[in-house]
Amino acid sequence: MIQFADEARIEVSSGKGGNGCIAFRREKYVPNGGPNGGDGGRGGDVIFVCKRNLRTLAHLRHKTVYRAKNGGDGSGGNRYGKDGEDIIIPLPPGTTVRDYETNELICEFTTESENSEFKFLEGGKGGWGNMHFKTSTNQAPKYAHAGKPGETRKLRVELSVMADVGLVGFPNAGKSSLLDYFTNARPKIAPYPFTTKIPNLGVLRVDDEQDIIIADIPGIIEGASEGAGLGIRFLKHISRTMALIFMIDCSDENALTAFETLKDELKSFNEELAAKPRIVLCNKMDIEGAPEVAEEIKNNLKDEIVIPISVERRYGLDRAKKEIQNLVADVFAIKSEEEKDNEPKISEFMKNRADCDDEGTQYPGSEM
């Protein structure tokens, strides 16, 4: 699973402000030249940027320390130091950034557009040069301010793939085959379990104005929520999906209990997952005995939408596509109503920083 990086630990630091300069005019024919030490430059900021062409956090595995540039020191002739360059860290949609030690949520990119920015750490302010401290009683001040230090934080970065619908099922239930048929994704397909080892995304084209993104995660087995198989690592990738598609292999001997087992595993991992809107697809109707099993499943799950299909023979897929569209449309309608009632929330981290603009402001003659 090295090729799919969905977690990373990084250290980020903003730049230190440049020091103010102590200097005096020394030009010829300018008697009693006064102070002309310039200010230091501002340190660089740490900025996260959403990049939709990224799909994993592999770039954070190769480089784990990010430091913005320090501001340049001031110099004589009232010359200011150069501002430090910002460090820009690109992240894919679906990324959550948390403090490594406290687990405090710092930011997350969910519905942000391309190049959306989040300034995390500001660089230190540059120190004032001695030109600011000249007074009528002190016309040759021999002191300046040092630049403010930057900040350093250790962070945990996690990626949850962004999709409208998540495919849930046991290994070899036909999830990858369905994704291959409905979308432009080309996942690995083979007649043995655990063919899918990393999450796959595909786009189901509805019309010229709407697409549905479907996520296929590695097959879940009983006990996945406790660490069995591959499911525990990738269950989080359907946590942000709006709806679920349960795939059941009706040729399997455990087909009648598959739905409840899958739902219990999701509930054990996250109760909200098990409560998401869903439909049930009973696959492999081309195999002898499977239609009878599908009918029994339908009778047992009277409150669920159960659709018999055969991806191999292309049976029932038009109805399945229609139900997927209806499922997403209904969820979008509910979500739109909820968004109208909820005001945007600001993380506690940003609330604590909102009133700090004046902290550390340097005034002439003040002690640092």
pLDDT for residue 4:
56
Do residues 319 and 306 lie in contact, with contact meaning Cβ atoms separated by under 8 Å? Answer: no
Do residues 244 and 217 lie in contact, with contact meaning Cβ atoms separated by under 8 Å? Answer: no
Please, which residues have CB within 8 angstroms of residue 137's CB and are 6 or more apart in sequence? none
pLDDT for residue 340:
58
Residue 223 has pLDDT above 70, yes or no: no
pLDDT for residue 29:
78
pLDDT for residue 233:
57
Q: What percentage of the chain has pLDDT greater than the value 90? A: 36
Please, which residues have CB within 8 angstroms of residue 116's CB and are 6 or more apart in sequence? 49, 50, 109
Domains in the chain (CATH in brackets) are 1-159 (2.70.210.12), 165-341 (3.40.50.300)
Average pLDDT, the chain: 79
Band of pLDDT at residue 53, cut at 50, 70 and 90: confident
DSSP string, 67-115: EPPPPPPPBTTTBPPPPPPPEEEEE-TTEEEEETTT--EEEE-SSPPTT
| Alpha-carbon span 153 to 175, nearest angstrom | 41
Residue 44 has pLDDT above 80, yes or no: yes
Chain segment 164-185, per-residue pLDDT in tens: 888 888 887 888 888 888 876 5
The single-letter code of the amino acid at 185 is A
Residue 293 has pLDDT above 90, yes or no: yes
| Alpha-carbon span 131 to 152, nearest angstrom | 31
| Alpha-carbon span 214 to 292, nearest angstrom | 29
Chain segment 299-320, per-residue pLDDT in tens: 999 899 999 999 889 899 999 9
| Alpha-carbon span 248 to 195, nearest angstrom | 16
β-pairing, 152-159 vs 211-216, is unpaired
Q: Which of 106-115, 120-129, 271-280 has the highest mean pLDDT?
A: 120-129
Residue 189 has pLDDT above 60, yes or no: no
pLDDT for residue 188:
43
How many CB atoms sit inside 10 A of residue 49's CB? 16
Residue 191 has pLDDT above 60, yes or no: no
| Alpha-carbon span 4 to 1, nearest angstrom | 6
How many CB atoms sit inside 10 A of residue 155's CB? 22
Q: What is the mean pLDDT of residues 201-219?
A: 72
Residue 3 has pLDDT above 60, yes or no: no
pLDDT for residue 54:
78
Chain segment 62-86, per-residue pLDDT in tens: 889 999 999 999 998 889 999 999 9
How many CB atoms sit inside 10 A of residue 348's CB? 11
Band of pLDDT at residue 342, cut at 50, 70 and 90: low
